[in-house]
Amino acid sequence: MAFNKLLSFQLEYAPQYHLTKYVSARTGLQLVHIDHKSSPLVQGYFAVGTECPNDSGVPHTLEHLIFMGSKEHPYKGLLDTVGNLCMSSTNAWTATDQTVYTLTSAGWKGFSKLLPSYLNHILFPTLTDEACTTEVYHVDPEDFSDKGVVFSEMEAIESQSWFVTMLEKQRLMFPEGSGYRSETGGLTNNLRTLTNDEIKKFHKEMYSSDNLCLIICGNVPQSELLDIMENWDSTLPEKDNSTKKRPFLDTPESQIPSSRNEIIESTVEFPELDESQSEILFSWIGEPYLSYTTDLAVSMLLDYFTESALAPFTKQLVEISDPLANSTDYWTDDYMRTIINLGIHGVPTEKMEQTKAKVMEILATHEIDMARIKQVVDNGKWEYILRCEKNGDSVLSQAVITDFLYGDLHGSSLEASVKSLSDFNELSKWTSEQWSSLIKKIFIDNKPIIVLGKPSSELYESIDKEKEKLLRERKEQYGEHGLSKLRETLDQAQTHNNTPIPESLLEAFILENPEKTVDFISTVSITVCDDTKHKNEADPLTRSILNSKPENFPLFLHLGHFPSQFIELHCLLNSTCIKDTTLLPYYHVFTELFSMPMKGENNEIVIPYEEVVSKLKSETVDSQISLGLNATCPELIDLRIRCKSDDYSKAVNWIKHCLFDMIFDEKRVSVLVENYLNSIVELKREGDVMLESLTCRNIYSTRSMKKSVDPLYVESILEDVLNDIEDGKFQEKVLPRLETMRIQLREHFNKFHILIFGDVSKIQSEVYKPWESLIANLDAAPQSYKVKTPPVPRLLSSVSPLCKKPSERAYIITAPASESSYMNVITPVPFNLNYNDPEYAAVLLASEYLQCVEGPFWKGIRGSGLAYGANMVKMTEINSWGFNIYRGTDIVKCYQAGKQIVEGYATGVAQFQPNLMQGAVNSIINRLATIENGYFAASISKYVDDFLLARGPNFNKMILERLADVSIKELQHVMQKYFVNLFDSDKSVVFICCHPSKVEAVQEFLEEQGFTVDIEELEDEEQDEDEDDEGNSD
């Protein structure tokens, strides 16, 4: 037996998880199995400790090159193609101290088939020069611009504020030579000169069996897992344990001192035309990895300082008139010592010094509120348990990876770090002296690094000019001869990389009846309603719930039952009840209802908002108001509350509080609206968010929440609200509108969808009772009232004329802060909400075929470095389908490539490949399994299928059967009938978000294609003077 079992235990607080750790005596390979049955997915995390002392980007580039072929299977994209056949998807990330490869499969069968080949890619990659050329960096022979997948990825983020401030922090915090100092993603300047030899050398140093930890989570037969792993392990060379050096821990330069005795401060700039908002980052050195309790205490303190309306930073920096910041957050880097980061966002640039001083002052003078810190610890504990229930694979594997890097080699630290929640229990007993001395030790005596991140329009312009200069110089430098050489190298690399994978090899990975190898999890659904057909009277719990319904109970309830320690409650309100659509933007105030003052018992006293928030925190785990149930049906406003099962009654009360008792308080409304408005500056820096905004504002009518709550749409409306409040017109103008909105939302109780998910058996005796106080406030139901399924407002009824009949229109929004471009192209595909339409499966499959990993878009758009993502977007709810480009480098070429590919399949020039078709079907199965990852998700998804989309509880099963029958002819037909229209200006509409420097070329291109182009510029008033410059520049 090659693997020794180091330890094996069950988690005390989440007994569905059993964790076992093994190590191979011969090779040092570590294997952790996190066993559970609460998901159809099997997930693998394969972690390598990676330490790199410079900004070359070797760890990240290597991560990409691993996917370009192994010695055993030297084909680019094999993992992806085979991944599809095995209903699996692969991914990876590179952090400062680790590179982690992931494998997610629908079921163990597919996972186990792919596993050995994947692991061979990691330890025995080909690392060819050709792969390096296309994947890492090359000069584009067309226009001399910088290209390469990694290069584009880094270029897109390198000038963003968070990146710039984080990098500066690392450089100030850690000395030269420390692995913690480097930007492991690679700075673009370094990527230009990085050689394949450096990458190979790094692989040799870091990627070995004794620096690799495999974590495999899910419903996996242990003996099969061990058989496969032992087989693989036996193919690896033996490792000498005695000379083993661990990254970081055994590197003298990477040691972290226990504290800092001097504040270091630095100002860095990031390119941005809008100079109004800055960022501040504070970082402290924290405790060593093994000091779990203190580490947790520090996290709890930061929770205390940053989270919720009661947090000192929120109360003293954010939710004040003339705010000093827009939001605050914290995160830790879990290195050999924890690095504690505190981010202060949306700081008015002229108030940076003031804000910085205020943060330090708060930390130095704040007296801990013992009741609140106890609350924070208790909430922290339950939030953690809930996260484990919902997403245990990722929570636990991250803990395992940190332990692999910094824990002891025998496993005792792993057990101590995850087995129990004794740390939380210990902290709940801490005295105020203990908390105060911790604040003093970590945040006051120990000095921070402070990085001030300032937006600079000058830098913004100089970057543009430098880029132009670089291109000009390159043009001269290369000349005609250099150009053809570039072209030759690139062509050669592409030909080499695109060596087709032999069919015979692929066949070895084909699963028989793939849909049958997935164990979808099942939950019980109980609907309390007089007109529903789906009642399983044979189920004793269902019978008991239905029989205990009080007479004339007027509400529609739907319960989803499965094992859990929590209850998740949703009350979905129908936004179409709000008659006047100009009220809809007030949704942004409505979402803050949980942090307003509240009427107490008898309506006499007013409970201040601080007490409300505190009470809410003590009675629930979390609460939120958002649109749609898991984003489906966004015309529904979702009041969601999660609580411990024991607190079900209290949670229900909060629904009533929201609908009746919360007070729209003038001061709170004004502060919260101002805060929301300030947050829009940051949204404008995100190209994908701006594309979404541009699209929604044009394809929906004001009836739709998609348009009426859009940040750019509401900006001036909410500014007017603020002005009204300033003019003393809150009572007269603002409040009546807010109240009207709430009254209309609660008026029709027959339109509420009330959903209760969790272990229903635990609340079975009290399901109905807590609703009485809400019911008492509603209009009385008529005698012998029949509860019916509430109506569902569908998006289709609130689309714009443009969406119904797009023709010859294109819209561009310019985002100065976004280097990359983003695009949606939309055309009608009318199923009229009938998911059983005979063509639906074919359209779904054709769309998946185009976008799937190693499919035509992947190869033709992503593979050639034109964009990070190219996808089809299902917009069935609005009779449309879309083509989306995410983070494009050349949006015109993306459009052209998409057009050429789709037309190729429509005309028959390109042939559909049966293996890729199967892969596309399997990736749909994989996606369905991913959606139903965990009991809560599976149970919610059932409600979505059955009630919101009205396509039946067994929709998944039915669609999988149909997909298996779709023929090549049908796929071609879909391309001809629908998808070619995407690229026909008569039948489509185009939305693009791009950098202002690209707008002219893009506009010209779209006009050539027959579009009338409408341009929206994002800069605000401050930029007026610059417009002249732009006009002259060309």
Positions that interact with Zn ion (CB under 5 A): 153
Instruction: From residue 878, give the alpha-carbon distance in Å to each of 288, 799, 831.
Output: 53, 7, 9
Q: Among candidates 292, 290, 345, 299, which has minimal Cα distance to 323? A: 345
In the complex with Zn ion, the residue whose CB is nearer, 136 or 960, is 136
Asked if 983 contacts 1006 with a C-beta cutoff of 8 angstroms, the reply is no
In the complex with Zn ion, the residue whose CB is nearer, 595 or 889, is 889
Nearest approach in angstroms of CB 78 to Zn ion is 19
Asked if 932 contacts 945 with a C-beta cutoff of 8 angstroms, the reply is no
In the complex with Zn ion, the residue whose CB is nearer, 32 or 136, is 136
Asked if 342 contacts 282 with a C-beta cutoff of 8 angstroms, the reply is yes
Map residue 68 onto helix, strand or coil: coil
Q: What angle do CA 230, 234, 237 make, to 5 degrees?
A: 140
In the complex with Zn ion, the residue whose CB is nearer, 153 or 1019, is 153
Q: Could you tell me the sign of the dihedral formed by the alpha carbons of 895, 901, 905, 908, in that order?
A: positive
In the complex with Zn ion, the residue whose CB is nearer, 150 or 928, is 150
Asked if 916 contacts 855 with a C-beta cutoff of 8 angstroms, the reply is yes
Asked if 1011 contacts 265 with a C-beta cutoff of 8 angstroms, the reply is no
Nearest approach in angstroms of CB 93 to Zn ion is 8
In the complex with Zn ion, the residue whose CB is nearer, 63 or 568, is 63
Residue 753: what residue type?
H
Q: How far apart are CA 628 and CA 944, in angstroms?
A: 10
In the complex with Zn ion, the residue whose CB is nearer, 155 or 389, is 155
User: Helix/strand/coil (H, E, C) string of 936-985?
Assistant: HHHHHHHHHHHHHCCCCCCHHHHHHHHHHHCCHHHHHHHHHHCHHHHHCC
Nearest approach in angstroms of CB 240 to Zn ion is 33
Asked if 289 contacts 448 with a C-beta cutoff of 8 angstroms, the reply is no
Give the β-pairing of 18-24 and 449-456. unpaired
Tokens of 354: 């003031």
Give the β-pairing of 212-218 and 41-49. antiparallel
Nearest approach in angstroms of CB 31 to Zn ion is 26
Q: What angle do CA 913, 918, 921 make, to 5 degrees?
A: 125
In the complex with Zn ion, the residue whose CB is nearer, 153 or 319, is 153
Nearest approach in angstroms of CB 405 to Zn ion is 20
Nearest approach in angstroms of CB 63 to Zn ion is 6
Nearest approach in angstroms of CB 94 to Zn ion is 7
Rg (CA), the chain: 29
Nearest approach in angstroms of CB 79 to Zn ion is 15
Q: How far apart are CA 846 and CA 905, in angstroms?
A: 10
In the complex with Zn ion, the residue whose CB is nearer, 153 or 295, is 153
In the complex with Zn ion, the residue whose CB is nearer, 135 or 682, is 135
Nearest approach in angstroms of CB 169 to Zn ion is 21
Nearest approach in angstroms of CB 143 to Zn ion is 23
Nearest approach in angstroms of CB 7 to Zn ion is 34
In the complex with Zn ion, the residue whose CB is nearer, 94 or 847, is 94
In the complex with Zn ion, the residue whose CB is nearer, 153 or 647, is 153
Map residue 451 onto helix, strand or coil: strand
Q: Return the beta strands (E) in 17-147 as ranges.
A: 18-24, 30-35, 41-49, 88-94, 98-106, 138-139, 146-147
In the complex with Zn ion, the residue whose CB is nearer, 153 or 210, is 153
Nearest approach in angstroms of CB 152 to Zn ion is 10
Q: Among candidates 419, 478, 420, 450, which has minimal Cα distance to 356? A: 450
Asked if 991 contacts 1014 with a C-beta cutoff of 8 angstroms, the reply is no
Element (H, E) at 1012: strand 1012-1017
Angle between helices 711-726 and 666-683 (to 10 degrees): 150
Instruction: From residue 604, give the alpha-carbon distance in Å to each of 598, 600, 657, 742.
Output: 10, 6, 15, 21
φ, ψ (nearest 5 deg) of residue 413:
-70, -35
**What is the separation of C-alpha 593 from the centre of its chain, rounded to a whole number of angstroms?**
25
Give the residue carrying structure tokens 């692999």.
Answer: 404
Q: Where are the alpha helices (DSSP H) in 684-710?
A: 687-699, 705-708
Nearest approach in angstroms of CB 862 to Zn ion is 12
Query: Nearest to Zn ion by Cβ — which residue?
Result: 153
In the complex with Zn ion, the residue whose CB is nearer, 153 or 592, is 153
Nearest approach in angstroms of CB 460 to Zn ion is 25
In the complex with Zn ion, the residue whose CB is nearer, 159 or 915, is 159
* Sheet with 1012-1017, edge to edge strand ranges: 867-875, 880-888, 821-828, 989-994, 809-814, 1012-1017
In the complex with Zn ion, the residue whose CB is nearer, 60 or 390, is 60
Q: Among candidates 130, 109, 71, 117, which has minimal Cα distance to 90? A: 117
Asked if 602 contacts 585 with a C-beta cutoff of 8 angstroms, the reply is no
Give rounded-to-5 percent helix, strand, coil for the chain. 50, 20, 30
In the complex with Zn ion, the residue whose CB is nearer, 101 or 955, is 101
Asked if 390 contacts 562 with a C-beta cutoff of 8 angstroms, the reply is no
Nearest approach in angstroms of CB 92 to Zn ion is 8
φ, ψ (nearest 5 deg) of residue 464:
-60, -45
Nearest approach in angstroms of CB 153 to Zn ion is 5
Nearest approach in angstroms of CB 103 to Zn ion is 17
Nearest approach in angstroms of CB 194 to Zn ion is 14
In the complex with Zn ion, the residue whose CB is nearer, 65 or 677, is 65
Q: Report the chain's terminal Cα–Cα distance, integer Å.
A: 72
